[in-house]
C-alpha cells in the first residue's frame, strides 16, 4: 500500500476511537453508576487522548 493509503486507514482508526470515546463517555455519565462509571470514564478519556494524538500525527506528517 502507498503511504497515503496507510495514513488514510490510520486516520479512520483515529476517528473510530473518537466515536468509541463519545459513546463510552455518554455511558459513563448517564447510564452507569458506581465504580463501573469511573472505569468507563477513564477508558473513554484514554480513547480520546490516543485518537487525538493519532490524528495529530497523521495531519502533521
Number of CB atoms found within 10 A of residue 21's CB: 20
What is the residue-level pLDDT of the chain in tens, covering all 61 positions? Answer: 899 999 999 999 999 999 999 999 999 999 999 999 999 999 999 999 999 999 999 989 8
Counting the structural domains of the chain, the total is 1
Which domain does 47 fall in, by range?
3-60
* Exposure string for 28-54, b = 16+ CB within 10 A, e = fewer: beeebeeeeeeebbebbeebbeebeeb
Amino acid at each position: 500500500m502507498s503511504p497515503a493509503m496507510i495514513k488514510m486507514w490510520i486516520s479512520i482508526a483515529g476517528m473510530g476511537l473518537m466515536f468509541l470515546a463519545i459513546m463510552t463517555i455518554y455511558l459513563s455519565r448517564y447510564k452507569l453508576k458506581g465504580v463501573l462509571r469511573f472505569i468507563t470514564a477513564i477508558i473513554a478519556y484514554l480513547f480520546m487522548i490516543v485518537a487525538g494524538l493519532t490524528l495529530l500525527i497523521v495531519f502533521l506528517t
